[in-house]
Amino acid sequence: MQTHWWHSAIAYQIYPKSFMDSNNDGIGDIRGIISKLDYLQDLGINVIWLSPAYPSPLADEGYDVSDYYGVDPRFGTLADMDELIHECNKRGIKLLLDLVASHCSDEHAWFKDVIKNGKTSPYYDYFYIVDVPADGTLPTNWRSYFGGSVWSPLVDENTGEGDKNKLYLHSFLKKQPDLNWENPAVRAEIAKNINWWLNRGIAGFRIDAIINIKKAFPFKDYPADAPDGLSNISNMLEEAHGIGEFLTELRQKSFDPHNAFTVGEVFDIDTNHISEWIGENGYFSSMFDFSATIYGAKDGFWHNKEKLTAEAYKSCIFGAMESASKAGAFLSNKLENHDEPRCPNYYLWEGENEGENADKSGITDEGKKMLAGIYFCLRGIPFIYQGQEIGMENTEIIAIGDVHDCSSQGQYYSAIEAGLTNEEAMYHIRRLSRDNARTPMQWDSSAYAGFSKGIPWLPINPNYKKINAAAQLNDKNSIHAFYKQLIALRKNPNYAQALIYGDFTPYLPNQKNLLAYTRTSKERIGKKTLLIAANFQNEPQTMPLTSPIKKILINNYEDIKTAENAISLNPYQLLILKL
Ligand code: GLC
Ligand code: CA
């Protein structure tokens, strides 16, 4: 297997709107990020993935790009971005931007020109535009990801300009028209833009919603799956073939010449096809493992999504490791991102119950550290999402009117339409809303958590006095300190080979709520085996050992209770042992 610099990456995702505000307008910005680079360097990460900061109406918080060549004034200037690239490089940190190319914004010049000039616009075929069917129905019954039909009239709602007899396709919000990748001119525009950024000194891209660039033709209806009569758009995507041609072209024209690192947001692919995506000659360097994210998701409605148990998580990650290793591929592993709830709530909910189980919650420092240890030692690249390293939790969401996230809005109305009460619907919004991840970073215990001196665009999580970076920086038992230990271990030359390239083998996979595996490397001096073991429950359990412990590398408790050929693990105890 060919080795690459990014195999030893430890990545950190920044959501610019919520990271750090330098000019006190309540919105995070690039100068704020620059001011926190020392913090990140001290943590030990060596790659940053920056969510979109391009000019945008921010209808989907920047994932609706109105100009691929700039920076939104709320986030700063292009000069600030260049400085960020420079300051990152100075610290040995590589910067990835977010490539949002499956759709743009309805305020992008291309789309505005189409609204104005209709069919005579040179950009008409940059989009999927069809005539309103003669009987006034919709061309297809696909449901957009954020709820409602994917078809909207080709009209600017504010000015009335456009053509109401035509419809355009948007897989996401109405303000996010899909780009027509069948058109070579569109692909050329995207390739040109990628090269332009890579030439500015970034190291690569995280690739947004990439599965959506290929549709199944001819367009047709799929079986309706909810009271709205529509069908989840993934039903169409499942039948779409040929995305590989587009992605190979992109790789050859843009990524390869720059030796760029690319990590795809790839949902819904058959795991047997992983090698096409991220094998030795795959479209991308890596892609995220979303198996735990989509677990129990069924039809895409939050109110039907099952909760993830320890056993289910184990089968997700063990399954992902198995298919990746068959394909010789490097996954990107994560617990959180800007689209998901905070990991303590998502993974440690068992025991969140009220009444007699109230004190059994796993949402403790030990539980948070356990989660970190489990995913950090998997084969692949660990990504940390801002605030995860200090154990940030889901926020308080009282009423749907207070929710900012557009997908939560759509999910709420679908739940109500399916017959849930307001309280029932809000329960699912609270557990899965994207706002949970988007509340501002909690830097310290001062007003607005040190994120800004102005009122933040999204309220700070009320727990900021207890959970914040400043309180943890000088505490050797903090969650932050634990992440630092894990990062240092991955970089330690004695263990890096095992943790980066070592074989992955499940350990006692049938022992309930024990989540354990070994990483084994063959090195010149001999074989090295690390055992990563977590007791994923709120009760002790005994783990048999087949070989003696040579060294305890990481422990989220003070001590370790060993018996003969066994360890008695505390609730949510996590150990990394050298065997
Ligand atoms: C991706 C992004 C998400 C966005 C969507 C549409 O899933 O991560 O935030 O809403 O694409 O661009
Ligand atoms: Ca600002």
Ligand 1 atom with minimal separation from the 338 CA: 9
CATH topology of domain 109-169: Oligo-1,6-glucosidase; domain 2 (3.90.400)
Please tell me if the CB atom of residue 63 comes closer than 6 angstroms to any atom of ligand 1.
yes
Nearest CA among 570, 554, 572, 517 for reference residue 348: 572
Determine the Cα–Cα distance for residues 244 and 516; give it in Å rounded to an integer.
36
Distance in angstroms (rounded) separating the CA atoms of residues 237 and 235: 6
d(CA 11, CA 335): 12
Q: What is the mean pLDDT of residues 189-210?
A: 98
Ligand 1 centroid – CA 579 distance (Å):
42
| Residue 23 near residue 69 (C-beta atoms within 8 A) | no
265 is catalytic: yes
- Is 354 part of the annotated catalytic residue set? no
Distance (angstroms) between ligand 2 centre and the Cα of 259 equals 33
Ligand 2 mean position, distance from CA 101 (Å): 26
Question: Is residue 230 within 8 Å of 146, Cβ to Cβ?
Answer: no
- Mutation choice for ligand 1 from 339, 383, 432, 434, CB with most ligand atoms inside 8 A: 339
CA distance 333 to 193: 28
Q: Whose CA is nearest to atom 11 of ligand 1?
A: 209
Fold match between 5-102+183-402+435-472 and 502-578?
no
98 Cβ closer than 6 Å to some ligand 1 atom? no
The 3-state DSSP class for residue 254 equals helix
d(CA 78, CA 373): 38
pLDDT at 354: 47
Which listed residue (29, 72, 265, 339) is catalytic? Answer: 265
**Nearest-angstrom CA–CA distance, 246 and 183:** 10
Determine the CATH number of domain 5-102+183-402+435-472. Answer: 3.20.20.80
- pLDDT, tens digit, for every residue of 447-502? 999 999 999 999 999 999 999 999 999 899 999 999 999 999 999 999 999 999 99
Token reading at 174:
């109405």
Task: List the one residue out of 155, 112, 116 whose CA is nearest residue 132.
Answer: 155
Task: Considering every ligand atom shown, identify the ligand nearest to the alpha carbon of residue 22 and give its number.
Answer: 2
Distance CA 46, CA 384 (A): 11
Query: Tens of pLDDT along 122-143?
Result: 999 999 999 999 998 999 999 9
Residues with CB under 5 Å of ion ligand 2 are 21, 23, 25, 27, 29
List, in sequence order, every residue forming a beta bridge with 331; answer none if it has no partner.
Answer: 287
pLDDT tens readout for residues 298-355:
889 999 999 999 999 999 999 999 999 999 999 999 999 999 999 999 999 875 554 5
Q: How far apart are the C-alpha atoms of 217 and 251, rounded to whole Å?
A: 24
Ligand whose nearest atom lies closest to the CA of 27: 2
Distance (Å, whole) CA 170 – CA 176: 6
Task: Give 141 Cα–ligand 1 centroid separation in angstroms.
Answer: 21
Q: Which of 106, 208, 276, 366 is catalytic?
A: 208
Tell me the pLDDT tens digit for each residue of 105-119: 999 999 999 999 999
Is the C-beta atom of 339 inside 6 A of ligand 1?
yes
Distances (CA, A) of 218 to 103, 180, 280, 308, 471: 20, 14, 33, 37, 58
In CATH, what number does 502-578 get?
A: 2.60.40.1180
388-413: pLDDT as tens digits: 999 999 999 999 999 999 999 999 99
* C-alpha torsion sign, points 208, 209, 211, 212: negative
- How confident is the prediction for the chain on average, in pLDDT? 96
Chain segment 509-542, per-residue pLDDT in tens: 999 999 999 999 987 777 899 999 999 999 999 9
Q: What is the pTM of this model?
A: 0.97
Mean per-residue pLDDT, 29-53: 98
Q: How far is CA 248 from the centre of its chain?
A: 23
For residues 534 and 572, the answer to whether their CB atoms sit within 8 Å is: yes
CB atoms within 10 A of CB 62: 24
Domain limits of the chain? 5-102+183-402+435-472, 109-169, 502-578
Cβ-count burial of 200 within 10 angstroms (0-12 exposed, 13-18 middle, 19+ buried)?
middle
pLDDT(262) > 80: yes
Q: Which of 37-41, 357-361, 412-416 has the lowest mean pLDDT?
A: 357-361
- Closest by CA position to 396, among listed 421, 359, 431: 431
Range 186-189, long-range pairs (CB < 8 A, 24+ positions): 186/126, 187/246, 187/249, 187/250, 189/68
User: Tell me, what's the pLDDT at 1?
Assistant: 79
Taking the centre of ligand 1 as the mean of its atom positions, its distance from the CA of residue 63, in whole angstroms, is 6
Gap between the Cα atoms of 262 and 229, Å rounded: 38
> Could you give the CA distance from residue 17 to residue 172 in angstroms, rounded to a whole number?
20
Q: What is the pLDDT of residues 141-175, one digit of tens each?
A: 999 999 999 999 999 999 999 999 999 999 999 99
